[in-house]
A and B are shown apart, each in its own frame.
Chain A
Amino acid sequence: MNSLSRSLGVAAIVATGFAFAAPAFAAGAGEKPPRQTWSFYGPFGTYDKAQLQRGFKVYRENCASCHGLSKLSFRNLSEPGGPGFTDGQVRTLAAEYKVKDGPNEAGDMFERPARPSDRFPKPFANDELAKAANNGAVPPDFSVIAKARSYERGFPTYLFDIVTQYQQQGPDYITALLTGYEAPPKGVKVEDGLHWNKYFPGNKIAMSNPLLAMFDDAGKASDPNYYTDGTPVTKLQVAKDVTAFLMWAAEPKMEERKRTGVKVMLWLIVLAGLLFMLKKRIWSRLDAEPSKAH
């Protein structure tokens, strides 16, 4: 490559760099979420099945009454690359939910226990109802929430992200949000029904701390045996577990995607090597007798 090629290359990288500085962020500062370690980080990262199972438990017992999971079916819970529940567990679980079906032969709609093929029922019949129950704010559906939240990385950090593979803004933010409830700074008035959270954009969030009941004021778990797999029950652990579950919910095909990607990459690398050698050989014909090429 000549020097033009090199400078164009650099320019292209810088160009893409600047251009990708685009993400928009909600007005008002929320503090920058601290980075967590995630098992699903990087090209070889996978979900931690036990963590997804714990996260699902947290979701079901602490969030599901307000936040739906409308794009997921019960069967997803036993599919490869997920929490790895057994088919039997999923059937039992689904049966605990009621879904509307029909009309039956008499023309009536009826309720029946859910089957694995059913989608998770919505917690509220409509947004108005959800608002009425939540101080005017609709609890967002959780199906893709882990991909629907982000925070600004800033130049040039996001450029390095291409190489370092950092793409966990959403999970880091959700974990931060769940652990970010605190007393408002002196002199700041928080209106009734709103709560101070240092990571929420604008800081005043309509959701009260959903993990409040799980811990006492000193931050000690009210039920130390909440997890059956021996994992210590800390605020951060619980927040991370439910977040990991949400990441899986948003990206259930991640493991398949990365596995395919590794194969594709290897294949491309080998192909590129072969083509490069072929190219060298073919073009070396010119060194001998340039005008004999035709």
Chain B
Amino acid sequence: MGEHHSTYVPNTGIERWIDARLPIVRLMHDSAVSYPVPRNLNYFWTFGGILMFMLVSQIITGIVLVMHYTPHVDYAFSSVEHIMRDVNYGWLMRYAHANGASMFFIAVYIHIFRGMYYGSYKAPRELLWILGVVIFLLMMATAFMGYVLPWGQMSFWGATVITNLFSAIPVVGEAIVTWLWGGYSVDNPTLNRFFSLHYLLPFMIFGVVILHVWALHHVGQNNPSGVEVKNYKKDTVPFTPFATVKDAFALVCFLMVFAWFVFFHPNFLGHADNYIPADPLKTPAHIVPEWYFLPFYGILRAIPDKLGGVVAMFASIAILAFLPWLDTSKVKSGAYRPAFKIFFWVFVLVAILLGYTGSQPTDQAVLTLGGRTILDMVGFAQILTVMYFAYFVVVLPLLGLFEKPKPLPASIADSVLASGHAH
């Protein structure tokens, strides 16, 4: 759709005056009104817009929270309670922000799996995809530091465990950890720098999202058939009103789930221990990160060697960026790849089960035979970790060479006709 030319016509004198000097209205018109989108997009394509909404929502609730929050080890916990009790609608801001992070991750995981199923990472969308991975990494960093701010037990011990990972780096590890902490343990300087970065990173995410969307609008969206747009009159519809109204409907449905948690179940996604003020002298029996980190935490703990675990954990995220080159199949959409489909769903299951292992104590039995443990949580996580990486470095490279894809439709319009409906 790079060839799509601007259809913006300035109608009033003012619009013409502005357009000749800074074509910003034209830019908005071209990217949000006349921008052509494949007409066969399903509801999985609405999550980009949902993510955008969540980012803005996090920024707005966050800015309000900062007005009442105190980043100091002696006051942080109390100031959050002050927000919950004394600030008008403070409870709403705080619950919306805390649950919003979870919703953001639910949306981004669906968004990523969507891309993986339909091969959205393939040419010409490699950079678009990599920018997505960068956003994902920034989101994780932001959420991790945000969770430290209320200064509860999980805040403190989560921060301690995760920052300690850097001590695994040979030679300079210890020095790096001290540098991260701003001292010899997680303490006030740590809280302050995390606060500073937690405010900064979302705006960096915003910047990368702009690049992400720019790339998207340059190469155009992929679609469930994985066939590129050939004739934009037949294959696409204008963003407004078609995608706008569909995105709006999906967003409102998503907001219902969001509202369900915020108003009726606000602490379900959180952890009871984080309502206990941080106590450096009292380690919780079982330190677990937020749910959205669990699969990676599972991988971390699967490797008995500390450095190895850290490397594996970061590799499990970084490897996403190499997907465009690891997947050798010429066919984009999983809908036309019978074998791929199976492996994809196994991969989804593996990711979920890794999250499960991350949530459980390491010595817990998974399989017992005659009273003897033959597989514990670590062993299970190891098997899953191997399967996780195998998907990227074994399955996807080989599948492209051996799999016989189903015949592709000649065009998006054809695939719509074949399925009998346009939407």
Assess whether A15 is in contact with B91, with CB atoms less than 8 Å apart: no
- B85 to A: closest C-beta gap in Å: 6
Residues of B with C-beta under 8 A to A293: 39, 236-238, 242
Bitwise interface map of A from 270 to 294 toward B, beta carbon under 8 Å scored 1, else 0: 0110011011001100110011011
Instruction: Contacts A15-B348, A19-B356, A162-B268 known; list 6 others, CB within 8 Å.
Output: A26-B285, A162-B260, A262-B263, A278-B249, A279-B249, A283-B246
- Assess whether A12 is interfacial by the CB under 8 Å rule: yes
- B264 cross-chain contacts in A, Cβ below 8 A: 43, 165, 258, 261
* Chain A contacts for B284, CB-based, 8 A: 24, 26
**Could you say which residues of chain B place their CB within 8 Å of the CB of A253?**
84-85, 91
A13 to chain B, nearest CB (A): 10
Shortest beta-carbon distance from A281 to chain B in Å:
9
Most A CB within 10 A of own CB, among B117, B248, B252, B292 = B252
Q: B374 in the interface, Cβ–Cβ < 8 Å?
A: no
A5 touching B43 in the complex, CB below 8 Å, given contacts A11-B352, A269-B256? yes
Closest to B287 in A: A24
Contact residues, A3-32 vs B (CB, 8 A) = 4-5, 7-8, 11-12, 14-16, 18-27
Quick one: given A11-B345, A161-B268, A265-B259, are A5 and B273 in contact (CB under 8 Å)? no
Interface of chain A: mostly helix, strand, loop or mixed: helix
Rounded to whole angstroms, the CA-CA distance of A257 and B232 in the bound complex is 48
Report the Cα distance A155→B232, complex, angstroms: 49
Q: What residue of chain B has the Cβ atom nearest to residue A272's Cβ?
A: B252
A5, A76, A140, A272 — which one has the most chain B CB atoms within 10 A of its CB? A272
**Cβ distance B56 to chain A, nearest Cβ, rounded Å:** 18
Query: How many interface contacts (CB-CB < 8 Å) are there between A and B?
Result: 188
Cβ B352 vs Cβ A19 within 8 A: yes
Q: Which 3 A-B pairs have the closest CB atoms?
A: A261-B263, A24-B286, A148-B275
**9 pairs, CB–CB < 8 Å, chain A vs chain B:** A12-B109, A15-B355, A19-B295, A19-B356, A72-B85, A148-B272, A257-B92, A265-B259, A293-B236
Residues of A139-187 at the interface with B, using a CB-CB cut-off of 8 Å, are: 140, 143-145, 147-150, 155, 161-162, 165, 167, 169-170
- A218 contacts the other chain (Cβ, under 8 Å)? no
- Taking CB atoms, residues of chain B closer than 8 Å to A76 are 85
C-beta contact mask, A231-261 vs B, less than 8 Å → 1, else 0?
0000000000000000000101100111011
Contact partner of A287 (CB less than 8 A), chosen from B255, B269, B422, is B422
